[in-house]
Amino acid sequence: MAHQPPKISIIVPVLNEAGAIGDALGPLKHDNVEVIVVDGGSSDETLDIVNRYPCRVMGSTKGRASQMNKGAEAASGDILLFLHADTILPESFTSYLQSDFWLSDRSWGRFDVRLGGEQPSFRVIEWFMNNRSRLTGVCTGDQAIFVRREAFEKVGGYALIPLMEDIELSKSLKKISPPFCVDTKLTTSSRRWESNGIVRTILLMWKLRLMHFAGVKGNALEKQYGRSPAPF
Q: Which pTM was predicted?
A: 0.86
Fold held by 8-189: Spore Coat Polysaccharide Biosynthesis Protein SpsA; Chain A (3.90.550)
Dump strand ranges (E) for the chain.
8-14, 33-39, 56-59, 79-82, 87-88, 108-115, 146-148, 180-188
Compute the distance between CA of residue 74 and CA of residue 78 in angstroms, rounded to an integer.
Answer: 12
SS3 56: strand
pLDDT tens across 198-224, in order?
Answer: 656 665 665 556 655 655 555 554 555
Extents of the domains making up the chain: 8-189, 191-232
pLDDT tens across 49-87, in order?
Answer: 999 999 999 999 999 999 999 999 999 999 999 999 999
